[in-house]
Amino acid sequence: MAIRHHLSDELLVDYEAGSLAEGWSLAVATHLALCPQCRARSRDAAAIGGMMFECIESVQPEADSFEKIMKRIGGEGRDAPQTTPRNPRPNPAVSGDILLPEPLRSYVGGDLDAVQWKNLGVGAQQMRLATGDGATNVRLLRIPAGDPVPMHTHRGQEMTVVLCGSLVDGEDVYMRGDVEYADQSVEHQPAAGPGEDCICLVVTDAPLRFSSKLMRMMQPFLRI
C-alpha cells in the first residue's frame, strides 16, 4: 500500500544538512527506507543544499551574489555534489519484506521477534532505544489490535513512524511507513487498527502530558 503521510520539507532539509538530533534522524531515515517518493525528494534537497554551500563558499559577497547563486543552482550540465553522510542513513536495499529497515534494525538489535517488550500497564508495550543525543526519547511501541493508547497531549514534538499494523487517529489512518507529527497543539488518543497489533517508532523531545491522573502517577516509572 502506498505511503500517504510523508516527511515535511523542513525535516528533509535539516536531515540532509546533518542538523537533526539522532532520534529525529533515525525516524527520518526509517521513513526514507520505506518511501521511494521521499528518497527522491531527499536527493533533491541534498543536491540543492550542496550547491548552495559550494556557491556560498566560492562567491565573494557582492551586490549581485544572490543572482549569481541562483544562476549557478539553475545552471545546466552540473553534477550534483557528493555529500558526506553524517546521519543514520536509510538502506533501501534491505527494506521490503524485512519488517525493520536499516538503520532502525541495528538499533533494535535484530528483528521484531527478538524485541524485549516491557509492559506499560495499559495494554501497550514498549522498548526504549538508546541514542546518544541527550535530546530525544526514542521507543518502539506495540499497541494491541483495536486498543487505544491513553489520551495525551505533548510538551514538545512527537514523531511516529508506523512499522506494522495500522494506527488510527481521528479520521486519519497511518499504515506501514506513514509518519504522524504532533505537538503541544494536539491532544489525541491514537488507537491500533483492528486485526493486527500496531508497532511503531515514536520519537519525542519532552515528556507527554496525560489526561488521566493514574497515567501521570505512573509516568516517572514508564519514562514516557
Task: Specify the residue, 37 or 65, whose C-beta has the smaller distance to Zn ion.
Answer: 37
Count of residues interacting with Zn ion (CB under 5 A): 4
Smallest distance from Zn ion to CB 160, Å: 14
Smallest distance from Zn ion to CB 150, Å: 28
Task: Specify the residue, 38 or 163, whose C-beta has the smaller distance to Zn ion.
Answer: 38
Task: Specify the residue, 100 or 179, whose C-beta has the smaller distance to Zn ion.
Answer: 179
| Cis peptide bond upstream of 103, omega within 30 | yes
Task: Specify the residue, 46 or 191, whose C-beta has the smaller distance to Zn ion.
Answer: 46
Smallest distance from Zn ion to CB 37, Å: 5
Task: Specify the residue, 3 or 149, whose C-beta has the smaller distance to Zn ion.
Answer: 3
91 class by beta-carbon count within 10 Å (0-12 exposed, 13-18 middle, 19+ buried)? middle
In which residue are the cell numbers 562567491 written?
Answer: 59
CB atoms within 10 A of CB 130: 7
Task: Specify the residue, 177 or 190, whose C-beta has the smaller distance to Zn ion.
Answer: 177
Calculate the CA 93 to chain-centre distance: 19
Distance CA 125, CA 11 (A): 28
In which order are the strands placed within the sheet that holds 167-169? 172-174, 167-169, 191-192
Smallest distance from Zn ion to CB 106, Å: 21
Type of residue numbered 64: D
Interior angle at CA 167, CA 44 and CA 195, nearest 5:
130
Smallest distance from Zn ion to CB 102, Å: 17
Smallest distance from Zn ion to CB 11, Å: 10
Burial 152-171 (b: 16+ CB within 10 A, else e): bbbeeebbbbbbebbbbbee
Smallest distance from Zn ion to CB 163, Å: 14
Q: Which residues contact 99 (CB under 8 A, 6 or more apart)?
A: 111, 112, 163, 164
* Residue 192 touching Zn ion (CB under 5 A): no
- Site residues for Zn ion, 88-107, by CB under 5 A, read none
Q: Which stretch binds Zn ion (CB under 5 A): 1-9, 54-62, 130-138, 206-214?
A: 1-9
Interaction pattern, residues 2-41, with Zn ion; x per rule: CB under 5 A: ----x----------------------------x-xx---
- Which chain residues interact with Zn ion by CB under 5 A? 6, 35, 37-38
